[in-house]
Amino acid sequence: MTLSLPTAPPGAVTDVASAAALSVSDVLRGLDVDAASGLSGEEAAKRRTRYGPNAVASHRTHLWAVLWHQLRSPLLGLLLAAAVASYLVGERGSAVIIGVIVAVSVGLGFVNEFRAEQAAEALHSQIHHRSIAVRDGRSLSVDVTELVPGDVVDLRLGDIVPADLRLLEVSGLECDESVLTGESLPTDKGTDPVPPRTPLAELSGCALMGTEVHAGSARGVVVAIGAGTEFGKIAAGLGTRQQDTQFQVGLRRFSMLLVYVAGALTTSIFVLNVLLDKPIMDALLFSLAIAVGITPQLLPAVVSTSLAAGSRRMSRRKVLVKRLVCIEDLGDVDILFTDKTGTLTEGRIDYMRAVPADVDAGDPAAALGWGLLCTETSAGDEHAVGGNPLDSALWQSPAAEHARSTQAGWVRLDVLPFDHERRMVSVLVRGPRAQLIQVTKGAPETVLERCVDVPEAVRTALAAEFTAGNRVVAVATRSVAEARRPTREDERDLRLEGLLVFHDPPKADAAEALRRLADLGITVKVVTGDNAEVAVKVCRDLGLVDGGVLTGVDVDALDDTALTAAIANTTVFARVGPEHKARIVRVRRGSGTGGVAFLGDGVNDALALHAADVGISVESAHDVAKDAADVILLEKNLDVLADGVAEGRRIFANTIKYVLMGTSSNFGNMASAAGASLFLSFLPMLPSQILLNNLLYDTGQLAIPTDNVDDEQLRRPSHWDIAFIRRFMLCFGPLSSVFDFATFAVMLWVFDSGPEQFRTGWFVESLATQALVIFAIRTRRVPFFRSRPSLPLALATLGVVAVGMLIPATPFAHTLGFRPLPAAFFAALVGMVVGYLALIEVGKHLFYRAAAVDGPRRRTGDELRHLRRRAAYFSTGMRRSQAAPR
């Protein structure tokens, strides 16, 4: 059947569906581009101006969105409504005071969250993804957001397709389109057009944005970018909201705990005060103020301040996080799976020597020559963009110059690209006398099993190289009868030409970095595609091997239960493929209480990076690895990673300090206010005074992110435990109430106070106790003597207490409902504060001795996780383009 194709005048190609139905020549004509030379730089710039960036999302900070995030609190809405009601019934002073306090609280939260968002934007702007495009006849590495319709793009194994492409040339191309179609099996690609209105999943002549090259290579022309792509249309429906991390889930659960407590107290207080014939408006305002007093309003501000400051410190230490909240998740890591190359080793691969098949009489240069011919790069030299590191090491070696002369006159005709299942690459070459030879190069185990008559001396030499910790590639050949593209079935009956030996020495500082991770309570396990003996040699040199070794074959033989047990006793996983890595991470993640991190930089690491709680890659990594990662290291160094983990734990520890205060002193003070309102003829504290107390207290705690953290808090994973927080609240809340009621007794029976003086005395005492208790709660040690707070925290806390003590003596004290206190009160205050802190120390010792803290199981994420991550790949710091890109 002959397919009748429409023709396309220049400018007629509008989307991938229409391009798929056109012939290659018509598509190129429609886009006004030549396949060999691509666009000129000048033309690309014009089209960039016309079509905008190749982006589906923006990570730009939006001021109004941050402000709305602060204003959408239900409690805030109720307070504002109550303030309006107070104003309408004549309580204008209270209404103004409440309004001012709410405005200041919102302002503090807004400023800190906006700064944190700006820090996140700055980090995102440092992460770049690149693609290989042909411009002015040369292959160039360009940012994916700079691609325009008409750009000619090269695709290789593991690439994320950077736009909707009409394929021009393919070589065994298979694309994983599951992110778009849900189809789990890779899709074969070609260049033939398809009938009009063919379904998306059957556009075989096109490569779609956001999909991944599973095998082979290709060249295509961009027909649609940004929101005009099929991926862009789906990503636009997701919105910009990211999925919650483990830290955010814990934060939300904690907030819900306080909502339940505040709701129960607020409702009870309101009902009881009405039953006691107190004014309904006063009862309502008092009940709402109690709810606000319990709720840590500035917790988001404290978290944002911690994250923004932490991200700046981590950036200086060469650690970038795609989302600020991932910093805390990094602190929850207790096991790290990492590759070997560039992490434990220098990552600087040097070619050492060739071992010919005839070990005694063979020519090493001939084996090297065959290795130089068997390469995927079109340029065939070290200057080719996107070349393989081993091939680059071959071409850059001094021996390469002589070896090239042995292969003069040989021409490469076609290639079967490398993939991680075969672990080899094959090329078809034609010699000076028109002879056709297939050259195969790859992992020695897989190449040798396809060879005939392998000399025993070669196997002995191979074992010796592995024992020495060297990397080895085998090269073999076979004669072929016809000039056609090699297939997997052709990789048989090979004749071994020799072994190519490379060296990648251990890093000088890797051993110290491993010790540092061990001190942080992190177990390191090596997951590599390299030979087991090579990996063990490197690990042994660094003092890491204290467990067994499993290969990919061993992993396949174990079910998940057996693999769980084996992981605990295994340090090195060798000769493993992408699926093995992902399964190892997934199984360990499902069985542990701490977080699982995976560090990788290659195409074959992407599945494992997705499966981990925290995916970590490096700036020099393959784009598909950077896309899958949550954290980017500017240096592939375990010491840098240790800095990141310590920073994550430090931030989490300081956040928890604020949380524990909110569940002890805050809860106790508000419970005391609720109890006192039942037996007093007046409200123990006015609503505006409660809000002012809460604002002063929270403002002082904004310095918590600067606090020092005890070493033992850094040596264990950090995670939310709502049961622990609840026990802490029930234990320490009543201790706070004991001294509140002591203050009530002093004010009523010692000073014979009226309503104003009573409220003033309790305002000062409650602010002093709940502010100063941070010095006890911030550490499990004896405060000041064995654990010192940071200077900013000490000054902020003491400053807030001083302000609270001075307010009753100011000219506006009467407006706030305060009156001066007698000097004797302050002597009693000192005694109560000292007694309270001493009681907290005793309670702390008993509580931590009895507490059994068990971490929650990890969640597995949701079905949109990978799609959202992939959408972030195509984002800019600009506003989303309003143009209708092709």
- Residues catalogued as catalytic: 339
Q: Which two tokens stand for residue 792?
A: 């900013």
Q: Please state, in angstroms and as integers, the Cα–Cα distance from residue 497 to each residue in 364, 368, 388, 425, 676, following that order.
A: 9, 9, 21, 15, 91
Q: Which amino acid is at 174?
A: E
Q: Please state, in angstroms and as integers, the Cα–Cα distance from residue 662 to each residue in 286, 713, 772, following that order.
A: 19, 20, 13
- Cα–chain center distance at 485: 41
- Give CA–CA dist 357/371, Å, rounded: 13
- Give CA–CA dist 798/784, Å, rounded: 14
Pairing of the two strands 614-618 and 595-599: parallel
Helices marked H in 126-229:
178-181
DSSP state of 548: E
If one counts every other C-beta atom within 10 angstroms of the C-beta of residue 190, the result is: 12
Q: Which amino acid is at 314?
A: M
- Give CA–CA dist 693/880, Å, rounded: 43
Output phi, psi for 277, to 5 deg.
65, 30
Q: Which two tokens stand for residue 328?
A: 């805390």
- Give CA–CA dist 639/343, Å, rounded: 10
Closest CA to 405 of 374, 443, 365, 433: 365
- Give CA–CA dist 391/425, Å, rounded: 12
- Give CA–CA dist 253/248, Å, rounded: 9
Tell me the CB-side half-sphere exposure of residue 332, using CA atoms within 13 A: 28
If one counts every other C-beta atom within 10 angstroms of the C-beta of residue 855, the result is: 18
**E strands, 516-672, in order:** 523-527, 548-551, 570-574, 595-599, 614-618, 631-633
Q: Return all residues near 146 (Cβ < 8 A) that are at least 6 apart.
A: 44, 48, 53, 54
